[in-house]
C-alpha cells in the first residue's frame, strides 16, 4: 500500500505539519497485516499525478511556450497549505518527483510605487502568528491565506467591511468563527464586496509571484503546472476572468532582467482535483514493479543517510 501524507517523509515516517499527527508506515503495515506500506509526501503524489495528464484536455494554458521534452518540470498548488515539487528524468528513463517544503519559505512582499500594503500585511501576520522575523508564503498563498488577507484588510479598512459578507465569513454568531475563505471568493466573484475583491487580487498576485520564484529555481521548460483544490476553486481569478486582469501571470513574469527566460516556461492550470489520487496510484504501480525487479528502484525515498 502507498499513502500520501502532508509532511516530510523520512524513514517511512512523517509528522503531519498542519495536524500534529505522526504516521509510521512500518507500524501501519504491522497493524493492518500488509506486506509493505510506503508513505510519500502528498505533493510528491500531485507530481506523479501530473504525469497522467492529457494536457490538451485537462489543462488550461497560462503561458503558451514550447514544451522541451526531458527538461525539468515543476508543480505548485494552493490548498490547505502550499505544496511545491519538481520533476527530473531518472535512470528508468521517465520522470521522478522530488517533493519540497517550498511553501514554508519566506513570503516576499511586493509593491507598486509607494504602496506598502503587502509589507503591512506581512507585519500584521507576524503579530497574528507571533513570528519573530518571518512569515511563510503559505500564510498568504493557500485557502487559509485568503482568510488571512481578508482579515488584514477588514482590520485596516473597517469602514469598507460588508456586514453581510463578514458574517458569512465568520459563520453563525453562536458558533466558533469559521473564517471561511469560500465566502470571500464568492463575494469577490459576485462583486458585492470591495475588500473581498482586493483580497483575491492580493492572493492571485502573490500566487503568481511564487510560481515565478519556482520557475526561477528549477527552469521547468518541461512545464510548470498549477494545481490544488484552492486553485480549481479560484480558476477564474487566476486566468484573469475575474479580479485584476492577468494578475497571476503579470506577477509571474515580473522578475526584472530574467523575465525573458520566464517567458519560455510553459505554464498550465490543471482543471481537475484528483491529481493526488492519480499520482499515488502511479507511484504504487511503480513500487510494485520495483518489488518484482521489473523496474530499477527509485532514488527518491528519504532515509537516515539522506537526512
Residue 305: the pLDDT is: 37
Could you tell me where the DSSP H helices lie in 61-180?
117-128, 143-156, 163-170
Give the list of residues 6+ apart from residue 202 with CB closer than 8 angstroms, or none: 117, 118, 121, 140, 149
Distances from the Cα of 208 to the Cαs of 38, 93, 141, 201, 229, in angstroms? 33, 31, 9, 11, 16
What is the spatial distance between Cα 161 and Cα 194, in angstroms, rounded to a whole number?
A: 8
264 alpha-carbon distance from chain centroid = 22
Cα–Cα distance between 178 and 39 in angstroms, integer? 31
Q: Is there a contact between 103 and 81 (Cβ–Cβ < 8 Å)?
A: yes
Residues with Cβ < 8 Å from 235, sequence gap 6 or more?
60, 269, 271
pLDDT of residue 302: 47
Q: What is the pLDDT of residue 275?
A: 94
Please tell me the predicted confidence (pLDDT) of residue 50. Answer: 96
The pLDDT averaged over each successive group of 10 residues in the chain (307 residues) is: 86 81 90 87 93 96 97 96 94 91 94 91 95 94 97 97 96 86 97 96 98 98 97 96 92 97 98 94 89 79 42
What's the pLDDT score for residue 92? 86
| Alpha-helix runs per DSSP H in 10-93 | 25-32, 42-50, 55-58
pLDDT, residue 179, reads: 94
Report the alpha-carbon distance of residue 218 to residue 224 in Å, rounded.
Answer: 10
Amino acid at each position: 500500500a502507498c499513502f500520501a501524507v502532508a509532511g516530510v517523509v523520512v524513514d517511512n515516517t512523517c509528522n503531519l505539519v498542519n495536524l500534529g499527527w505522526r504516521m509510521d508506515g512500518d507500524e501501519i503495515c504491522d497493524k493492518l497485516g500488509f506486506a509493505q506500506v510506503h508513505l510519500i509526501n502528498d505533493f510528491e503524489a500531485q507530481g506523479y499525478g501530473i504525469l497522467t495528464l492529457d494536457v490538451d484536455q485537462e489543462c488550461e494554458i497560462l503561458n503558451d511556450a514550447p514544451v522541451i521534452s526531458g527538461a525539468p518540470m515543476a508543480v505548485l498548488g494552493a490548498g490547505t497549505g502550499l505544496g511545491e515539487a519538481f520533476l527530473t528524468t531518472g535512470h528508468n528513463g521517465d520522470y521522478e518527483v522530488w517533493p519540497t517544503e517550498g511553501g514554508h519559505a519566506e513570503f516576499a512582499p511586493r509593491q507598486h510605487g509607494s504602496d506598502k500594503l503587502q509589507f503591512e500585511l506581512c507585519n500584521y501576520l507576524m503579530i497574528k502568528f507571533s513570528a519573530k522575523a518571518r512569515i511563510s508564503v503559505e500564510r498568504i498563498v493557500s485557502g487559509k491565506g485568503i482568510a488571512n488577507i481578508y482579515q488584514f484588510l477588514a482590520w485596516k479598512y473597517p469602514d469598507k467591511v460588508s456586514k453581510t459578507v463578514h458574517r458569512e465569513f465568520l459563520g453563525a454568531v453562536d458558533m466558533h468563527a469559521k473564517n471561511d475563505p469560500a465566502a470571500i471568493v464568492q463575494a469577490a466573484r459576485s462583486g458585492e464586496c470591495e475588500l473581498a475583491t482586493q483580497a483575491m487580487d492580493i492572493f492571485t498576485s502573490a500566487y503568481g509571484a511564487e510560481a515565478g520564484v519556482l520557475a526561477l529555481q528549477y527552469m521547468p521548460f518541461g512545464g510548470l503546472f498549477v494545481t490544488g483544490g484552492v486553485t480549481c476553486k479560484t480558476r477564474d481569478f487566476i486566468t484573469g476572468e475575474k479580479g485584476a486582469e492577468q494578475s497571476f501571470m503579470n506577477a509571474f513574469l515580473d522578475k526584472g532582467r530574467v523575465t525573458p527566460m520566464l517567458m519560455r516556461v510553459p505554464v498550465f492550470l490543471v482543471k481537475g482535483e484528483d491529481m493526488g489520487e492519480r499520482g499515488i496510484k502511479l507511484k504504487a504501480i511503480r513500487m510494485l514493479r520495483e518489488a518484482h525487479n521489473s523496474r530499477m528502484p527509485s532514488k527518491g525515498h528519504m532515509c537516515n543517510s539522506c537526512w
